[in-house]
Amino acid sequence: MAKMVRNERVKIMPSDITVGRQVLDIVTSGMYNNPLMVVREYIQNAVDSIDEAIEKHMLRQGEGTVKIELDGHERTLSIEDNGIGVSNEDVKTILYGLGYSEKENGKRRGFRGIGRLGGMGYCERVVFETRRFDYETVAIVKWDCHLLRNLVACSGKKNSAEEVIRNAVSLRFRNPTSTDPKHFFRVSMCDIHRFHKDELMNIGALRMYLGQVAPVAFDRSAFLFADEIENYLENVKGYECYEIKLNGHKILRPHTDIFPISSNQVDRIEGVELFDIRGRVGLQIGKGWYAKTHYLASIPTHVGMRGIRIRQGNIEIGNEYALEDAFTERRFSTWHIGEIHFDYSLKANARRDGFEQTEDYEAFLEQARILGKHLSHLCRLSSKNRSDALNAEVWMDQIESIMGKPFFIDEEHYHQNKAIAQRNLKRLEILQKNGELRTGLKRRFLHAKEFFGNGNDRPSYLSTVLDERKLRQIEKKQLVELLAKALVTGKEGTALENTLFGAMSPYLKPKVSKLYKGK
């Protein structure tokens, strides 16, 4: 029996550590629930590469480009950038590696070294082509995704992740062609699987998605507030706009001044509200904006700009529901348009649908709740004002009916009607101040306001307008019969009759009155 030694530290050798093949399953097919998110990861790597090329003076500001080519016939999607690329010397370390990245956390959008593997769950092969210097050959690294999945799924074998990669990945070099940039990186997803909506092969869905998530500029011809917003955001670290093209067509953000709410209703952005986001010690960690609209209803899903969206390095984190928990009612999160742009003070999680928990992130959540409460109030206020606007015609008709009465039964009847008119005038005055009274109704309102303001509402009472001479010529009983007949003749339903019976009940014979009260 071996002798037990206590308090002695055992040295662990590299050969003692095994990374199981299942980790490959996690990073290749378990990372993303939407295949389009893979394209976002490749674009993130592309613009980071462009930034690094600019820092090393291999590109000038504004020269970086990202080209996306979708070939539906071949079922291939490729993303190419003219950034710094990977040198022949480093290609094995970087493109064979798992969780290896030369990027520094806090200085780049990506830093974990796993995003490039995301596409392997959606196609048969992922091919990387790259070089860093114009005197180098082009390195081609091919990941055989079909073989990799089989090796990962193979039961009964204790293959490590290293062994699976060694068998499923190949490297070769070729001479550059005239179409190869001096430095570049190209990733191609080949033989993309047909699944569900086939979104990776849907150029319309891909274009809309890229407009929402990619670090591209606003369309200045469609969005009046583009310059105001971009000038405000320009000093947020990581905020840049890049030229990204899909099959030769430039991608722009989806924001427009006018947008549909339904098939027969549109809304308009009247302005934007700008605000800062502060961290735990009061330092600025981001900036944001939201659109001032009429907040008519939830914006339809096909309107790509709906929601207060969160971005870092000008790439979207999460989706339009990112702040839904901050609203008093979650449905209000899709009534708004806006963005929050963070610097690298916050650390995005691996799926890039949120952030890791830090004190700065907690500080942001507190500010988000205040913002959500305010935006929820705007929705409720707008809903109330619209309801009031719909009721404005009814309120005005009531006022004019009171103005047109030739007499009131008595003083109590007069004061009841005047109170209704004054209440309706106050409601209409609020709508007028908000500019929500249409022209025709506004004229009627001003006339009614003048009528009551000038004392023209001097009332006439029934007792003063009755003709005593004519009353003497008719019996009281006959008069009551005439009034009752006038009230109910030609009227549908029994409501008015019941009112009449109720009013006359005290003056009916006891036997009849008792019968009525029993109903």
DSSP assignment string, 193-258: PP-TT-GGG-HHHHHHHHHHHSS----TTT-TTHHHHHHHHTTSTT----EEEETTEEP-----SE
Question: Of the candidates 355, 351, 356, which has an alpha carbon nearest to the alpha carbon of residue 33?
Answer: 351
Residue 252 · residue 327 · CB < 8 Å: no
**Side chain identity at 477, as an amino acid letter?**
K
Whole-number Å distance between alpha carbons of 309 and 303: 13
Long-range pairs for 270-277: beta carbons < 8 A, 24 or more residues apart = 270/294, 271/225, 272/225, 272/228, 272/229, 272/338, 274/228, 274/229, 274/232, 275/371, 277/340, 277/342, 277/364, 277/367
**What's residue 150's pLDDT?**
81
The length of the chain in residues reads 519
210's tokens: 């890229």
Evaluate whether residue 290 is within a structural domain.
Answer: no
Phi-psi region of 171 (alpha: psi -120 to 50; beta: other; left: phi over 0): beta
CA distances from 430 to 149, 383, 420 (A): 66, 14, 16
Q: Give the span between the Cα atoms of 75 and 70, in whole angstroms.
A: 8
Asked if residue 118 lies in contact with residue 32, where contact means CB atoms within 8 angstroms, the answer is yes
Instruction: For residue 64, tell me if it sits in a domain.
Output: yes
Q: Which two tokens stand for residue 412?
A: 């109590």
C-alpha separations of 190 from 73, 77, 194, 413 in Å: 11, 7, 12, 83
In a domain, 221, yes or no: no
- Do residues 373 and 427 touch, judged by C-beta distance below 8 A? no
Q: Is 113 a domain residue?
A: yes
Cα–Cα distance for residue pair 477/473, rounded to 1 Å? 12
The verdict on residue 403 lying in a domain is: no
Three-class SS state of 373: helix
User: Per the domain annotation, does 304 fall within a domain?
Assistant: no
Per the domain annotation, does 389 fall within a domain? Answer: no
Helix or strand or coil: residue 419?
A: helix
Give how many domains the chain has, as a whole number: 2
Show the tokens assigned to 481: 């019969």
Asked if 328 and 376 count as a contact pair (C-beta separation under 8 A), the reply is yes
Largest CA distance in the chain: 133
pLDDT attached to residue 8: 64
Closest CA to 322 of 352, 362, 286: 352
**Which letter does DSSP use for residue 490 in this model?**
T
> Last residue of a domain, which of 166, 201, 236?
201
Are the beta carbons of 59 and 72 closer than 8 angstroms?
no
Question: Of 141, 176, 201, which marks where a domain is finished?
Answer: 201
CA dist., res. 118 & res. 29, Å (int): 7
The phi and psi torsions of 245 (rounded to 5 degrees) equal -120, 140
What local confidence, expressed as pLDDT, does residue 390 receive? 81
Judge whether 451 and 403 are in contact, CB under 8 Å: yes
Q: Looking at residue 129, what is its pLDDT?
A: 96
261 within domain boundaries: no
Residues 6+ apart with CB under 8 A from 495: none
Q: Where are the beta strands (DSSP E) in 224-361?
A: 243-246, 249-250, 258-262, 265-268, 271-278, 284-292, 307-312, 315-317, 337-342
Between CA 116 and CA 187 the distance in angstroms is 9
- Quote the CA–CA distance of 46 and 51 in Å, as a whole number: 9
CATH number for 23: 3.30.565.10
Rounded to two decimals, the pTM is 0.75
Packing angle between helix 439-453 and helix 359-403, nearest 10 degrees?
60
How far apart, in whole angstroms, are the C-alpha atoms of residue 280 and residue 512? 80
Cβ count near 378 (within 10 Å): 17
Domain that residue 57 falls in: 19-201
Residue 118 CA, distance from chain mean position:
25
pLDDT tens across the length of the chain (519 residues)? 555 556 666 555 455 445 555 666 665 565 667 889 899 999 999 999 999 999 999 999 989 999 999 999 999 999 999 999 999 999 988 888 765 556 555 555 655 456 678 888 889 999 999 999 999 999 999 999 888 888 877 755 667 778 888 888 899 999 999 999 999 999 999 999 998 889 999 999 999 999 999 999 999 999 999 999 999 999 999 999 999 999 999 999 999 999 999 999 999 999 999 999 999 999 999 999 999 999 999 999 999 999 999 999 999 999 999 999 999 999 999 999 999 999 999 988 877 888 999 999 999 999 999 999 999 999 998 888 788 778 888 999 999 998 888 888 888 999 999 999 999 999 899 888 877 788 888 889 998 988 887 766 778 888 887 778 877 777 777 777 777 777 777 666 566 667 767 776 776 677 665 655 555
> What's the pLDDT score for residue 188?
96
DSSP 3-state of 486:
helix
Query: Domain boundary residue among 171, 201, 231?
Result: 201
